[in-house]
Structure 1
Amino acid sequence: MKLRIICMFAVLSAIAPFYAQDKQERAQWTLEDCINYALEKNIQLQQDKISLQESEIDIKDARASLFPTLSFSTGHNVVNRPYQEQSSTVSGTEIISSDSRTTYNGSYSVNAAWTLWNGGKRLNTLKQQKTNKAIAQLSVSETENTLQEQIAQLFIQILYADESISINKGTLEVSEATYKRGEELFKEGSISKADLAQLEAQVSNDKYQVVSAESSLRDYKLQLKQLLELDGTEEMDLVLPQLEYEDIMRLLPNQTDIYQTALSIRPEIQSGKLSIENAKLGISAAKAGYYPTISLSASSSSMTNNASTNNWAQQMKYGWNNMISINLSIPIFDNRQNKSNVQKARLQYNTSQLDLINKQKELYSTIEGLWLDALNAQQQYAAAETKVKSSQTSFDMVNEQFNLGMKNTVELLTEKNNLLSAKQELVQAKYMAILSRTLLNFYAGNNIEL
């Protein structure tokens, strides 16, 4: 009995990982699921977070430079004088004479150094590193925003491709039904063999359009998997929402309000402002090179020698000496290094200002473009709806007349293609309006949602 229970647990333990994996592969993904997963797994985002951690280490280094350094050093030498019968050496306070051709001596020293003042360069460097950390944090936020926008675009493209497949499949069904009716009319002598061949070619073309739409859908899903760092062969069942007329034609937010909100919350703008502050600190740090540097140093050391008559402890005691010194370094001529550093720092400040202006212009251009795209798409959608209705009515009439032998193949195919074109225009305007409005809401500080 015990053996059976043990075997049962062993089997369950063995199949559990495969069951869990299969469950994960069959899990359904919403847009929110995709975004949350990407924010956790995306490699570029993880690299930015590592850079943020590096900036924290740089702050610690800059802060540590404000404190003294302390070190211990020791040296041990063996001296051989093969042609000297007697040698003299100074060890601490002793003058040691030895008739040994080989002697050993050791030195021991504790050293401390502290820069008291260097024109404020260390403090400005510390402030710069803190600013760099804030910029690195904003860089993480910027990558997160870009990732969310890319996922939203791909998700909506998947919605578009999925609906396009449905439209093309519906068109194929109509073409196949028309071809079957054409075969009957051909047998009755109502249409020629050339007309029947045209209907057959239309069926083949519609099959190709279905395959092409399915290929686009697979490509968009693959791109989405890559953003999520998923294996390309892994099954991904997306939850595609049904979008209503109200979702498409919803009133757009004010363009100016979006821009003003984006200026205050978008990380690329905040990063640009911090870069200007950082450049100002860089100028101050560069100017510190013109000022004197005051430093304090101290040491405590002793020496030993094997030729001494004193033991090691006595040598360490009598040879011990302490030193403290204050040093002043005044730059006089440095081959133009300080002047060049200041000029470069000022140029970097000007560059930072221009970068901020450029980012603000790009932000305004992006928002304006999205707003116009959304407005145009809504207007196109309203017009396309009317066009689809009229094209459907016209096709139904011509198709009915074709079935009665009153219309030829060219007229039927023309109306059919007009209807397909109208449906494609409708679905394209639909998802362009959804995408543009979704991104506009995101720039206004809202979460991405459909």
Structure 2
Amino acid sequence: MKSMVFLVLCLLSGNLLYGQAPYTLGECIQQALHANVDIKRQQVKLDKQAIRVETEKYSRLPDLNLNGTQQFDFGRSLNRDNTYTDVNSQTSSFSLTTEVGLFSGFKTMHSIARQKLELKINRELLEKVRNDITLQVTICYYQILLDKEIAAIADEQIILTREQEEMTRVLATHGKVAESQVLTVKAQLANDELASVKAANTLRLSMINLLQLLELRDTAGFDIVPVALDTLMPLAVSPDEIFAVSEQIMPEIKSARTAVESSQSAIRIAKAGYYPSLALAAKISSGYYHNNDNNPPLDIQFKNNMQQTVYLTLRIPLFNRMTTRNAVRTAQKEREDSRLAADNALKTLYKEIQKTWYDALSAHECYESTRHSVAANNEALRYAKEKYQAGKSTVYEYNEAKMKLANSRSEQAQARYEFALRKKILDFYAGQSIR
């Protein structure tokens, strides 16, 4: 008895381990955000830009270099007394140099500011990619829900047609309808089964699309949790009201505006070429000379040859073949282009919101219309069934009533999920997260 209980527990635990729970919309989004390659690549770009900011900051520090030279002279050469002799010699020299920029037309300051703005742009672009993936997953998720309902309607049509086939056989047995109508119903059943197969294939493809977004390879047992659709109330806000909020929070707008600021910094960097630059440098050097004659010891030569230098380097640009002038003009054109891009981003966002809003409005109107259509076609099918059972109508009339009901139910499902999807996207534009 104990062994049997243990075996049952093992089987149950195995089912729990290997069973795959349906994914909610929020879980699908989190999985896609975690696995998506575009997001990972954008994160790498963000990390690279952070390194550029750090590099630009460190450019204000002085550099420090240790240099060494070993020279071999054969035949006539200069000796340590700066006279020529016909003796082979060796010269070793070492130096420690450092240099720091004191002034460069504020180029370093503006370069740091621009790299920080570019970092901000990359951060917003990362958020934009995340938003795009979120919307793609949401659209696929709702498409699956719609395809499931369409497939269920197709399966219900098969059940109704099979009932019709049985009913027609009984009527034909009693001589109320011709035997040919049984064949007609069989043909209709074959058509309904074909429609069911097509609906199932459409659902399968929608599932694959979502699985690819989630980067999941194990498709066995994958399913999603149905979304509870609230009462389809009319839209309460206008596109302009949604846009007023969206333009302040959408990352594509933030990045476009930041790009304008970055282009302004690029102009300041280019104009720095008009200013003189000043650098402070220092150098400590010494050396050792050796030939076949008597040579002082290494430490004495190093001490005697020690040289310490401090100097300023001033560079005043007079003419550089219009390089700076054209660099400034190019940067100004880039600023103009970034402003146009920012304006275009705003227009694109408004068009997306406006189109989504009117799609939602159209879907809501279609849903209200199909509610009456479904009710009327339900009643028409009931009446057609009664007439058909009494042998007072043909199979074609009954099939037409069935098809009208199926079509109206499909249109109602499409309108319902279309409105729910567009409403959720509009809420997302208004700052609400999708979960």
TM-score by length of 2: 0.91
Alpha-carbon distance between aligned partners in 2 of 1:43 and 1:221, rounded to the nearest angstrom: 20
> Greater CA deviation, 380-389 or 113-122?
113-122
The residue correspondences of 1:168-317 to structure 2 (distance < 5 A) are 168-192=154-178, 194-231=180-217, 233-244=219-230, 246=231, 248-249=232-233, 251-307=235-291, 309-317=295-303
Alpha-carbon distance between aligned partners in 1 of 2:56 and 2:209, rounded to the nearest angstrom: 42
The match for 1:8 is none
Percent of matched pairs sharing the same residue? 26
The match for 2:132 is 146
> Greater CA deviation, 52-61 or 228-237?
228-237
Task: For residue 150 of structure 1, report the CA deviation from its aligned partner.
Answer: 1.0
Among 28, 34, 42, which residue is 2:28 paired with?
Answer: 34
The match for 2:79 is 90
SS at match of 1:237: coil
1:125-177 residue CA offsets vs partner (Å, 9 max, x unmatched): 10000001111111111111111111111111111111111111111111121
1:317-353 residue CA offsets vs partner (Å, 9 max, x unmatched): 1111122221222222222211221111111111111
Among 30, 40, 46, which residue is 1:46 paired with?
Answer: 40
RMSD of the TM alignment (CA)?
2.2
Matched, 1:437 2:431: no
Matched, 1:72 2:66: yes
Alpha-carbon distance between aligned partners in 2 of 1:96 and 1:194, rounded to the nearest angstrom: 126
Letter of the structure 2 residue corresponding to residue 306 of structure 1 = H
Q: 1:335 to 1:239 in 2, by over 3 A?
A: same
Task: For residue 215 of structure 1, report the CA deviation from its aligned partner.
Answer: 1.6
Alpha-carbon distance between aligned partners in 2 of 1:21 and 1:366, rounded to the nearest angstrom: 46
Task: For residue 191 of structure 1, report the CA deviation from its aligned partner.
Answer: 3.7
Alpha-carbon distance between aligned partners in 1 of 2:161 and 2:114, rounded to the nearest angstrom: 69
Among 307, 310, 315, which residue is 1:321 paired with?
Answer: 307
1:383-429 residue CA offsets vs partner (Å, 9 max, x unmatched): 10110110111112112212222111221221111111101110000
1:284-333 residue CA offsets vs partner (Å, 9 max, x unmatched): 11111122222222211111133261122112111111222212222222
Letter of the structure 2 residue corresponding to residue 63 of structure 1 = K
Alpha-carbon distance between aligned partners in 2 of 1:232 and 1:146, rounded to the nearest angstrom: 24
* 5+ residue gaps, structure 2: 1-9
Task: For residue 23 of structure 1, report the CA deviation from its aligned partner.
Answer: 3.2
Q: 1:21 to 1:104 in 2, by over 3 A?
A: farther
Contact 1:387 1:422 in 2 (8 A): yes
SS at match of 1:334: coil
The match for 1:420 is 406
Q: 1:24 to 1:365 in 2, by over 3 A?
A: farther
> Greater CA deviation, 68-77 or 50-59?
68-77
Task: For residue 253 of structure 1, report the CA deviation from its aligned partner.
Answer: 2.9
1:69-94 residue CA offsets vs partner (Å, 9 max, x unmatched): 11111122334x3xx4xx44334xx4
Among 91, 106, 111, which residue is 1:125 paired with?
Answer: 111
Contact 2:234 2:361 in 1 (8 A): no
The match for 1:411 is 397
The match for 1:9 is none
Task: For residue 233 of structure 1, report the CA deviation from its aligned partner.
Answer: 3.2
Alpha-carbon distance between aligned partners in 2 of 1:211 and 1:53, rounded to the nearest angstrom: 49
The match for 1:350 is 336
Q: 1:351 to 1:97 in 2, by over 3 A?
A: closer
Among 331, 346, 349, which residue is 1:360 paired with?
Answer: 346
Alpha-carbon distance between aligned partners in 2 of 1:22 and 1:320, rounded to the nearest angstrom: 80
Q: 1:20 to 1:369 in 2, by over 3 A?
A: farther
Alpha-carbon distance between aligned partners in 2 of 1:73 and 1:423, rounded to the nearest angstrom: 84
Alpha-carbon distance between aligned partners in 2 of 1:98 and 1:22, rounded to the nearest angstrom: 94
Alpha-carbon distance between aligned partners in 1 of 2:30 and 2:79, rounded to the nearest angstrom: 74
Alpha-carbon distance between aligned partners in 2 of 1:175 and 1:317, rounded to the nearest angstrom: 109
TM-score by length of 1: 0.88
Letter of the structure 1 residue corresponding to residue 315 of structure 2 = S
The match for 1:390 is 376
Q: 1:20 to 1:149 in 2, by over 3 A?
A: farther
Task: For residue 280 of structure 1, report the CA deviation from its aligned partner.
Answer: 0.6
Letter of the structure 1 residue corresponding to residue 46 of structure 2 = L
The match for 2:95 is 109
